[in-house]
Amino acid sequence: MAGESILVVDDSLAVLDMVQTVLHDQGYHVTSVSNGTAALTCPSLEDVSLVVIDEQLDGLASRETMRILKQNAPTHPIPILMMVPEEGLTQTESVSMGGACAYMVKPFDPQALVRKVEQVLDQQRLDELSNQYLADAADRMMTQLADKQIAGAVERKTQLIIERCIQNITTTIDQRARAQVDEHVTSLVADKEQELVKLTVREVAQSMVEKLAASKVEEAMNVILAEQTDRAVRGAGDKILPNMIREKVKEMLTNMLPREVESRLQKAAEKMVPEISQQIVGTVEEVAKRAVPRAGRELLPAVVEGQVATAVDQVVPRRVSDLVSRELEKQLREKLDPTVREEAARIRRNVIVINSVVGALMLAGMAVMLWLNYGPK
């Protein structure tokens, strides 16, 4: 196969020209240099398919050049054909190749040179082919081995990953669960707190309602008490007082003397008032007990009692006394007015008389006493 690039190294330009002419006629591209350094620094060295080198070079020795070519990775695969001078050959000594894959004796037959070059290039192609096969086989084996290793490694790694994943998942779940529990607890606590707050609010509200109710009850009680008391007093007044008064008046009027009538009437009136008051109170209590709402009694019996007692103590006597006095006054005015007025006028007249008499007596008595004490001794 022609077309390959061949680098020829020889210190003789004539030899270079001959080799170039022979190989160029076969279709090879030939680059010629006269020393090893130029060969190693050739710009197109990496494209060279074959190096043909003279064994005897000036400067950098050919074997050193070949060694460097073989040591460098890019130029290592390039086959080397060494040209050995005929006079340098002996029958007993074998040719030291020194990195070359073939040698050629100089001077050379041009056809022999062409054959040798083709042979070396064929060998190189075969080597490349076998290297390619070997490389492919090695690749396959390496691939298999690598697959196996990778599979094992993947399995181990997967196991590790799974374990880590599980661990991560567990951790995550744990964290999430904790978070959720915390969240729930927080929410529950919040609910509870809310509930408690509500409860408390409710209780507070209830207590406030109760207090409000109590105050309302109190107000109602006050109103009811006032009404009931008013009513009771009025009823009592209506029921009891006229009769009693009438009876007493009648009794007084009937049984007493006009003077005694006055004192008795006065005494009777003084006595009647507390009793009537107590009766009124009793009546009011009963009426109140019936009238006051059960809730009020249940919730605040003591208060009610206290309030009632206080009210009764503070208000009732005053009011009763007022009412009684007003009622008495009214009843007396209405019922007893004519009689009493009459009797009173009569009593007043009698009293005036009596008082005048008593006064006179007293004056007389006083005069007596004064006379006795301060009179003539």
CA angle 13, 17, 20 (to 5 degrees): 135
Considering only residues 50 to 109 of the shown chain, the ones binding other proteins according to CB under 8 A are 57-61, 64, 68, 86-87, 89, 107-109
Size of the site for other proteins (CB under 8 A): 36
Instruction: Of 97, 16, 5, 81, give the one whose Cα is nearest residue 42.
Output: 5
Beta carbon nearer to other proteins, 14 or 73: 14
Query: Counting contacts by CB under 8 A, is residue 366 touching other proteins?
Result: no
Element (H, E) at 135: helix 110-255
| Strand intervals (E) in the chain | 5-9, 29-33, 50-54, 80-85, 102-106
Our CB check for other proteins shows the closer of 86 and 298 to be 86
Site residues for other proteins, 140-179, by CB under 8 A, read none
- Torsion angle, alpha carbons of 99, 104, 106, 108, to 10: -150
- Binding track, positions 293-332, relative to other proteins; x by CB under 8 A: ----------------------------------------
Type and span of the H or E element at 14: helix 13-25
User: Minimal distance in Å, beta carbon 146 to other proteins?
Assistant: 36
Q: How far apart are CA 305 and CA 320, in angstroms?
A: 18
Stretch that binds other proteins, among 19-27, 127-135, 149-157, 259-267 (CB under 8 A): 19-27
Nearest to 220 by CA among 288, 146, 138: 288
Shortest Cβ distance from residue 96 to other proteins (Å)?
A: 18
In the bound state with other proteins, the residue whose beta carbon lies nearer, of 73 and 302, is: 73
Residue 329 in contact with residue 337, Cβ under 8 Å? no
The residue (of 85 and 375) whose beta carbon lies closer to other proteins is: 85
Site string for other proteins, 107-126 (x = CB under 8 A): xxxxx---------------
Q: Does 251 bind other proteins (CB under 8 A)?
A: no
Distance of CA 252 to the CA centre of its chain: 91
Backbone dihedral angles phi then psi of residue 102, each to the nearest 5 degrees: -160, 165
d(CA 192, CA 221): 39
Of the residues 1, 13, 190, 358, which one makes contact with other proteins according to CB under 8 A: 13
- Which among 33, 20, 18 is positioned nearest to 106, based on CA atoms? 18
CA distance 39 to 117: 18
Give the residue with the Cβ less far from other proteins, 95 or 299: 95
Q: Report the residue from 4, 28, 32, 287 that binds other proteins according to the rule CB under 8 A.
A: 32
Told to check if 35 binds other proteins by CB under 8 A, we report: yes
Q: Residue 84: what residue type?
A: V
Closer CB to other proteins, 21 or 255, in the complex: 21
Task: Please state the φ and ψ torsions of residue 90, each to the nearest 5 degrees.
Answer: -125, 160
| Residue selected from 4, 6, 30, 42 as contacting other proteins according to rule CB under 8 A | 42
Which residue lies nearer to other proteins by CB, 18 or 272? 18
Contact between 375 and other proteins per CB under 8 A? no
The minimum distance between CB 36 and other proteins, in angstroms, equals 7
Binding residue (CB under 8 A) for other proteins from 17, 127, 210, 230: 17
22 is a contact residue toward other proteins (CB under 8 A): yes
Residue 103: phi and psi, rounded to 5, are: -135, 160
Residues that bind other proteins (CB under 8 A): 11-15, 17-18, 21-22, 25, 32-38, 40-43, 57-61, 64, 68, 86-87, 89, 107-111
